[in-house]
């Protein structure tokens, strides 16, 4: 774990921290964020920017740890049935909206640093 990582496993709630793969997930989330938003990693990143990025990554980690719970739901009414599959289909990746948020934060950071 790098000293300037946005998210650390100690930032997670106890039930999320107890997941057997959480260290790998945290490292992967930080790695993805570092690749797509490098401006968020460094000594001149503000506490506000780091906190906002931490919330984005935290949401992804929580989603990844809960992906197996109630993944397939089946409902039956008379002769009809409906199945809903809510399993994680994109793997352990940040959603496009999360990528966009991190990029915007990084762009804001780069703009602030030039001012």
Over residues 96-104, mean pLDDT? 95
Compute how many other C-beta atoms are within 10 angstroms of the C-beta atom of residue 86.
13
Residue 108 pLDDT greater than 80, yes or no = no
Q: What is the pLDDT of residues 69-87, one digit of tens each?
A: 555 667 788 888 877 665 5
Query: Helix and strand tally (H, E) in the chain?
Result: 4, 2
Tell me which of 82 and 28 has the higher pLDDT. 28
Share of the chain above pLDDT 70, in %: 81
What length does the chain have? 115
Residue 51 pLDDT greater than 80, yes or no = yes
For residues 18 and 28, the answer to whether their CB atoms sit within 8 Å is: no
The domain limits of the chain are 9-70+89-114
Q: Which residue in this structure is represented by tokens 């948020």?
A: 101
The chain-wide mean pLDDT, for the chain, equals 84
């Amino acid at each position: 774990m790098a000293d300037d990582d946005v998210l650390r496993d100690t930032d997670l709630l106890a039930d999320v921290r107890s997941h057997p793969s959480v260290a790998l997930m945290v490292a992967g989330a930080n790695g993805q964020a570092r690749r797509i938003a490098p401006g968020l990693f460094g000594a001149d990143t503000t506490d506000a920017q780091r906190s906002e990025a931490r919330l984005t990554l935290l949401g992804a980690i929580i989603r990844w740890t809960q992906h197996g719970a109630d993944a397939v739901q089946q409902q039956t009414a008379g002769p009809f049935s409906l199945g809903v599959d809510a399993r994680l289909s994109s793997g352990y990746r940040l959603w496009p909206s999360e990528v966009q948020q991190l990029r915007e934060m990084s762009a804001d950071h780069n703009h602030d640093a030039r001012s």
